[in-house]
Structure 1
Amino acid sequence: MTLSNTTARDRESRFGPVPPCAAKPLWAHRSRTTSNPQYAKSFPSSPTISNFQSTILSPHRNLLKSPLKIQPKMNGEDPAERPDYITTVINGLERYNPEAVGTLESYLQEQCDQKFADCNANRTLLKLYQLNPDRMKDEVVTNILVKAMTQFPSSQFTLALHLINPSAASTGELHEAITKLRSLNSQLQGAQYADFWADLDGDDLCADLIADISGFEDLVRERIATLVSHAFREIKLSHMVSWLGFNEDKTRKFLTEVAGWTIDDDGNVKIPSNPDNEAKKSEIREDVNVDQFARVIRRSWEETV
């Protein structure tokens, strides 16, 4: 908006000389660009108003592992244990070769024995089962699902589940096994750990499903402890007894020897500080383009005149 000469003279007579920085509206000033490429927006170059900034203080969690003495295998998508020949299979044309089924099945057994998971390679095996249904083995499918379940909380179990041929999973023993595993996975995903242990203990079907997975219960307990350390600095021992599925003596031993935590005389578990459970405030600076307020500034200028 351009003011007429009459209006400008009237304004000067009423309010005095116009400062150089206010000789024209703010939105008409030459603009410049911030040095921050993330907020590369234009701001006026006025010496009085350079930009508008808002500072937001919010606690941010740095998603790092907890300081457990024994670290669970947290990376189930691309684990460090994966050999080069498996990388060649899942990333090349070999992933469509029916003969790769035997190789991937042997690799799955290696995962079960050595307490790590390679969900990416296991999904490749399930895709080969889709293309070659005559090669599918129920026990291999359930082992893949159990390994994926140990990666909670994540979508690994669901991803594997949706690669199973619906016709094969809708009837028979495989259907019963998948139904049970879906229930157990839902409890782990929802942090219903006490219910998980209650359903797992004394169930013959569950015992059969996890029989091939070496240290399955230890993997689950270590993962639960890791997740607890992400959220708590102190927690009642009684809660950990319920969540770990142990009696009190075994829970104390696990928390002190495996997790490296301490327990005071009042039954409070002390968890060491880590980047996840430590309360922090991080400052986030956001530059707001003055053009977003041009309409408000213009109206204010008009009312002043």
Structure 2
Amino acid sequence: MVAFDKCETRPAHIDAILNGLDRYNPETTTVFQDYVAQQCEDRTFDCYANLALLKLYQFNPHLLQADTVTNVLAKALTVFPSPAFSLCLALLPAYTQPFPTTTDAQTASQASDFVESVQKLSGLSTLLESAQYTQFWSTLNSDDLYADLIADVAGFEELVRIRIAVEVGKAFRSVSAETLEAWLDVRSRDALEKFVADVCGWKVEGGVVRVPTNKENEARSEVKSERVGVDMFGRVIRRGFELPV
């Protein structure tokens, strides 16, 4: 899987901005905003470009576009468990954070819709990071606002399902089909079998999903040996024979 901070599809003009002084030019915010929209459409993710945009917003708060910020955060959810979401969240105004100060809370009241959106996405990130996948899907489906927040991100559910499957494949050799249906929010056994076969290369046998052995889920013993020579303790032994002054 490609690292979250690599983007092989980054356009040349975006690369030029990121490697030059224009990355600090407020006029480039429109370029980055268009690039975020492009990422949402073609299912790519460019962490460094998105962080550069959020840094520009940090320097120029009057340029901040709430819809673009929520799109950046929603895209970051699709590459969990990477630190992308946390990095993006850290560049947002203090009043959007889950635990604002009194002053921040007063500021937040003036932009309550934006703050609510950021905190709802932050809650989804927490559920994914803590592997509460069933709760993630039930929360996502519980409020129309969540649907609005991910509406611009093409294939959001599919991308998240793939990430969940990757994490499951790292931790399990087998898992009940019923459990995996809940984790992936797949509605039927046929749909589950098709997903695990086409996307993951796994098999469903008698109500159990079999995950092939890989370097992450393989059970293996690890033997560690340490070589400790007397010379390593020379100073300790010498101090033992020294007379106190």
TM-based fold match above 0.5: yes
Q: Which has the higher contact order (CA 8 A, sep 6+)?
A: 1
Which of these residues, 170, 177, 180, is aligned with residue 237 of structure 1? Answer: 177
Consecutive unaligned residues in structure 1, runs of 5 or more: 1-64, 66-73, 299-305
CA distance in 1, matches of 2:216, 2:11: 31
Q: Rg bigger for which structure?
A: 1
Equivalent residue number for residue 164 of structure 2: 224
Which of these residues, 164, 180, 192, is aligned with residue 251 of structure 1? Answer: 192
Equivalent residue number for residue 75 of structure 1: 3
Is residue 2:118 matched to residue 1:190?
no
CA distance in 2, matches of 1:284, 1:84: 48
- Cα distance change on mapping 1:224 and 1:296 into 2, 3 Å: same
Q: Is the 8 A contact 1:76 1:116 kept in 2?
A: no
Q: How does 1:127-166 map to 2 (within 5 A)?
A: 127-166=55-94
CA drift of 1:102 comes to 1.3
Using the aligned pairs only, state the percent identity: 43
Is residue 2:104 matched to residue 1:176?
no
SS class of match (2:26): coil
Q: Is the 8 A contact 1:146 1:181 kept in 2?
A: yes
* TM-score relative to the length of structure 2: 0.85
CA RMSD of aligned residues (A): 2.4
CA distance in 2, matches of 1:84, 1:233: 42
Is residue 2:40 matched to residue 1:126?
no
CA drift of 1:155 comes to 2.1
- Cα distance change on mapping 1:150 and 1:295 into 2, 3 Å: same
CA drift of 1:121 comes to 0.9
CA distance in 1, matches of 2:94, 2:165: 35
CA drift of 1:78 comes to 1.9
SS class of match (2:175): strand
- Cα distance change on mapping 1:285 and 1:93 into 2, 3 Å: farther
SS class of match (1:108): helix
More strand by share: 1
Deviation digits for residues 42-72 of structure 1 (CA, Å, limit 9, x no counterpart): xxxxxxxxxxxxxxxxxxxxxxx5xxxxxxx
- Which amino acid is 2:125 matched to? N
Equivalent residue number for residue 45 of structure 1: none
Deviation digits for residues 175-200 of structure 1 (CA, Å, limit 9, x no counterpart): 11012111111100100000010011
- Cα distance change on mapping 1:289 and 1:106 into 2, 3 Å: farther
* TM-score relative to the length of structure 1: 0.69
Consecutive unaligned residues in structure 2, runs of 5 or more: 97-106, 239-245
- Cα distance change on mapping 1:167 and 1:230 into 2, 3 Å: closer
Equivalent residue number for residue 40 of structure 2: 112
Q: Is the 8 A contact 1:78 1:118 kept in 2?
A: yes
